[in-house]
Structure formats: structure tokens, C-alpha cells
Amino acid sequence: MKCPICSHEEDKVIDSRSTKEGTVTRRRRECSECGHRFTTYEYIEPGQLAVVKKDGKRQDFDRKRILEGVLKACEKRPIPRERIEEVTDAIVSELQAEFRTEIPSSEIGERVMKHLRALDEVAYVRFASVYRHFEDITEFMTELRTLVKEAKSARHTA
């Protein structure tokens, strides 16, 4: 593993942990050259899983694309990177458990929205506005009103 600071290829593993589902291993490493500490993640790569796009085209499933979408939605929000990784892992685990060879892209988007909604409402609205292609402010406001109603009702039942 190359050090992100000095590019030296020798390091030692300081700590290694598995996620709850056991599908990801997080390793803390220390560069033997400069002493910089960094984190790496090991994932089980799904075999031949394809995403079916709206136009019928297929592309390889890539966890990084889900992570990038979640990161973009959570940008400038007070959400730790570790929590974003956990949410991404949960989404990927759900998809891998349910789909064996092909996943409709719409299913990925819906799962991301479900998890973002529970994580952070602002991140959810950001993702939903891009994913659902709100045509105008009316559609956007309708979604916001739904969120506000649900939040009020959750506070009253708690």
C-alpha cells in the first residue's frame, strides 16, 4: 500500500476492524518511511453485478459511485466520514443481499434516498432534488412540506 504522503510502499497495520455485517475491513496503517498514519478499507467485490440504467444499458456495479453520491449530498454537513462510509456499506449490503446479477439504477437511487433521509434531511433533499429531477420550485416545495409534516408527526409521537 503506497503512503498518500511520501508514496513509500512499506507500512505496518496498527489496527484492523470488521464492520457489523462483516463485509468490510477497516485498517489503520503507518508508513515505515515518514510515519504518516492513514486508513484503508477492504471490501468484498460482488461478482459480475450489473446496474441496469433507465435506457436499458448496463454497467458494472461500483461502490465508489454510491459513495460519491452520498459524499456530495453530505457536503458541508456535520456528518463524519466514517458515518458516510457506514451508510454506503449498508446500502451496498442491502443491494448485494437482494440482487444477484442485475440491479435497476432506480433501486440504487431509492435506497440511497432512504438512508440519507434517516441520516440527514438536508443531505436527503440535496440528493432527491438531483435524483428526482425536480422540474420547478413547486415539486421541490412539495417534497419539503412532506418532510416537515413527517418530522412534526414524529416529534408528537415521541
What are the sequence ranges of the domains in the chain?
1-44, 45-157
For the sheet containing 58-60, what is the strand order?
Answer: 58-60, 50-52, 102-104
pLDDT band at 158 (very low <50, low <70, confident <90, very high): low
- What are the cell numbers at 96? 448485494
**Residue 108 burial (CB count, 10 A):** 21
User: If you average pLDDT over every residue of the chain, what do you get?
Assistant: 89
Alpha-carbon distances, residue 66 vs 4, 118, 122 (angstroms):
23, 16, 18
77-108 pLDDT tens trace:
999 999 999 999 999 989 988 998 999 999 99
Which percentage of the chain shows pLDDT scores above 70?
96
pTM across the whole model: 0.69
Task: Please report the pLDDT score of residue 7 as a whole number.
Answer: 94
For residue 13, the cross-strand partners are: 29
Q: Which residues fall within 8 angstroms of residue 133, CB to CB, at 6 or more apart?
A: none
Which of 78, 88, 156 shows the shortest CA–CA distance to 116?
88
